[in-house]
Amino acid sequence: MKRIALLGMPNTGKSTLFNRISGASARVGNWPGITVDLLSAKILLGGNIVELIDLPGIYDLHGFSEDEQVVRHFITSNPVNLLVVLLNSTQIDRQLSLLLQIKKLGFPIVLALNMTDEAKRAGITIDTEGLSQTLGLPVIQISAKYGDGLPKALAAATSVINQQETTTNPQSIGLMLKEEHDIEDEMHELIQHHVQIPTTLTDDVTDKIDRVLLHKWLGLPLFFAAMFLLFQFIFAVGAPIQDGLAWLLDLLRTELLNPLFTNTPAWLSGLMLDGIYNGVATVAAFVPIIILFFLVMSMVEDSGYLSRAAFLMDAIMAKMGLDGRSFVMMLMGFGCNVPAIMGTRIMRSRSMRLLTMLVIPLSLCSARMQVFIFMIAALFSPSKAPLILFSLYVMSFFTMFLTALLFQNQYKNTEPFILELPPYRFPTPRQIVLRGWHEVKHFLNRASKFIVLGVVLVWLLTNFPSNVAPASIDTYAGQIGVFFTPILDPIGINHELAIALIFGFVAKEIVVGALAVIYGLQGDALMAQMATQIDWVQALSFMLFTLIYTPCLSTIATIKNESKSTAFMWLSIAWSLGLAWIVSFIFYQSARLLGY
Amino acid sequence: MHPSIYMQFLSQLKAGQRAVISAIEAEDSLFHRLTALGFRVGKPLSIMRRASFNGPIHVRLGTTDVILRVTEADRIQINAI
């Protein structure tokens, strides 16, 4: 199969073009020589199936950023039949250098000049024919957003790959890359002859919006207001959908699956229903939130506001080794950790991504909130409830900042903070929907097996040996609780609560349900029973532990496949468990010392 | 004339000021990134705004708007105009 790679600088609309050509067929794939995921799709071109690969956006083939290294590794390890180089017409004066670097390496190239509409508005005229003749390759003006010029570009690509029988030779490209090229002169020559740019280029609309959104004093409040609204939108719309889905899955279970398994042995129906089916339901619960999250995030990203957020928040975040983009993801983590961790992909520096991924699981997500509301209702008076909840939020922020400060030298970001501010653009609905779809597919492919296995494991621990009552002290989970008594006693967590914490590894949503099974009671009776068994100090210690330790299996699965490192996943689990214990210990012991 | 006395850096400019780049002193990786974004000796630029709390600087060079931290702007020498 012939192979075409798509290459261009960041913010040239490369992903938009890729999505437009590939539609929903794109998939994430692994490639020799590189460690990051690249999107690829099989497309029909001139009667043949061709593989199209979306390479990361880079400024310079000789640069030192991680993305630049990825592209270099790709082209020196994988043969291709054609490179489609995409440049932003409004910045052709500096972007042409990338094309010339690639041309020097002898690649068959089709040059697509994107954002023709913006360039026209800015008064830039490009003589494509002259440019094409001088360069000796097809040059086509397109608009990836609206699809203008796309058939022409594809036709040019078809004719090049039909003439071209051989692929590039990665080894010889590797050799050539080693030689430095002096490109500046050639570039200036080309620009001088074929491009006219007005001396001052101003995008009036963008300037006017920036004057408000990046305002010295208004900028930050507006940013927080915008984040709050987006957050409210995702979870206000998402929660009823999640509830509906849960109701549907429950209905399926009671109406169809339960009768189906009535005559099978208890272990089998337990495994199938409480193990595997619950695992599937856990995975399904995340789907609506992930779709909504990425609908919103791709709007924020494509509009150009994300770079502005980085501008506004950088002064504070830089002190913690993070940047404004991490902050957006940290905030989103307060809704749900899973999409927030997936969203860190917008950060191009691996170390900063890892640091952000270590911090996000400490945010008080909506699932933990359910546990807190239950515990607070059981053990605190309504007048104290807001104060307790508020202090848990403060604790959440505190542990996040502490983690970032402690680990910032471990994950030192070496990439300079220099970002382009693209003009504000309207994202297209198609682009937004495709993104949501891709992310859900990615999550289901990579995380679902892991999550289902984990749920089955916890089911085994809490239901075996088979001759004891489920979730009781005599199960394996109970025995683990007993085994850890020396560690759990100093933080006031009894055996029953320890079993609930083991359930909590699956998802915090099931902790309350687990307590019901453990105590064999429901609702008010359960609350009353708990109030007699533990006091408020123990309850708060339990809540602090719940807040800080591993949020859920889905988060672990996401951390594992986003970081592509099992060691990092274990670090995240170990750190959060350790920190949870230390915080609970300090709280519990000092409360007891003070006589409570 | 003692040029060192008059040496001025991008990080010292105020919002609204214009300048011409006179030298870039940066290690390879930073230099590459700056060049790719259009920072070259002799190129005019203007400061659009500066973020609060000594945050990043918003610079416009020709057709490109760029934000960079003060530490990076410290590496770029300019002549104010």
DSSP string, A254-275: IIIIHHHTTTS-HHHHIIIIII
- Which residues of chain A lie closer than 8 angstroms to B66, CB-CB? 418-421
How distant, in Å, are the alpha carbons of A36, A290, A428, A467, A483 from that of A305?
Answer: 25, 20, 15, 59, 51
**Per-residue model confidence as pLDDT tens digits over A160-207:** 888 877 777 777 777 777 655 456 667 767 777 787 765 444 567 888
pLDDT given for residue A52 in this prediction: 92
CA distance, residue B38 to nearest chain A CA (Å): 6
Counting as low any pLDDT under 50, the low residues of chain B are 1-2
Determine the residue type at A284.
A
Question: ipTM score here?
Answer: 0.90
Nearest chain B residue to A314 by CA distance is B55
Q: Do A220 and B54 touch (CB under 8 A)?
A: no
Cβ of residue A196 closer than 8 Å to a chain B Cβ? no
Q: Please, which residues 34-53 of chain B have a Cβ atom closer than 8 Å to chain A? A: 34-38, 48-49, 51-53
Determine the residue type at A289.
I
pLDDT given for residue A136 in this prediction: 92
Hey, what are A575's tokens? 């750190």
Nearest chain A residue to B15 by CA distance is A216
Mean pLDDT of chain B: 86
Q: Can you tell me the distance from the alpha carbon of B8 to that of B25, in angstroms, rounded to the nearest whole number? A: 13
Strand partners, B44: B20
Cis previous bond, B44, omega within 30: no
Q: Which of A60, A97, A419 sits opposite B67 (nearest CB)?
A: A419
Nearest chain A residue to B54 by CA distance is A315
| Helices vs. strands in chain B: H and E counts, helices first | 3, 6
- Which residues of chain A lie closer than 8 angstroms to B59, CB-CB? none
* Residue A184 CB contacts under 8 Å (≥ 6 apart), including other chains: A97
Q: Kindly tell me the sign of the dihedral angle through the C-alpha atoms of A18, A302, A29, A84.
A: positive
Q: Do B52 and A220 touch (CB under 8 A)?
A: yes
Torsions phi, psi for A145 (to 5 deg): -70, -45
Q: Can you tell me the distance from the alpha carbon of A458 to that of A560, in angstroms, rounded to the nearest whole number? A: 19
Residue to mutate among B67, B70, B75, B76, with most A CBs inside 10 A, is: B67
* Cβ pair A555, A337 in contact under 8 A: yes
Q: Please state the pTM of the whole predicted model.
A: 0.77
pLDDT given for residue A242 in this prediction: 83
Q: Kindly tell me the sign of the dihedral angle through the C-alpha atoms of A246, A251, A252, A253.
A: positive
Please state the CATH superfamily assignment of the domain spanning residues A2-201 in this structure: P-loop containing nucleotide triphosphate hydrolases (3.40.50.300)
Tell me if residue A475 falls in helix, strand or coil. coil
* Residue A172 CB contacts under 8 Å (≥ 6 apart), including other chains: none
Q: Can you tell me the distance from the alpha carbon of B65 to that of B72, in angstroms, rounded to the nearest whole number? A: 15
Is the backbone of residue B80 left (phi > 0), alpha (psi -120 to 50) or beta?
beta
Q: Do A314 and B28 touch (CB under 8 A)?
A: no
Nearest chain A residue to B57 by CA distance is A311
Per-residue burial over B2-28, b if 16 or more Cβ lie within 10 Å, else e, is: eeeeeeebbbebeeeeebebeebebee
Q: Do B64 and A307 touch (CB under 8 A)?
A: no
Cβ of residue B16 closer than 8 Å to a chain A Cβ? no
Q: Please, which residues 56-85 of chain A have a Cβ atom closer than 8 Å to chain B? A: 59-60, 62-65
CB neighbours (10 Å) of residue A374? 18
Counting as low any pLDDT under 50, the low residues of chain A are 181, 199-201
Q: Do A59 and B36 touch (CB under 8 A)?
A: yes
Q: How many Cβ pairs within 8 Å bridge chains A and B? A: 108
Q: Can you tell me the distance from the alpha carbon of A323 to that of A325, in angstroms, rounded to the nearest whole number? A: 5
* Cβ pair A439, A550 in contact under 8 A: no
Domain borders along chain A are: 2-201, 212-368+381-414+432-446, 452-593
Q: Do A416 and B29 touch (CB under 8 A)?
A: yes
Q: Does domain B3-80 have CATH number 3.40.50.720?
A: no
pLDDT given for residue B1 in this prediction: 44
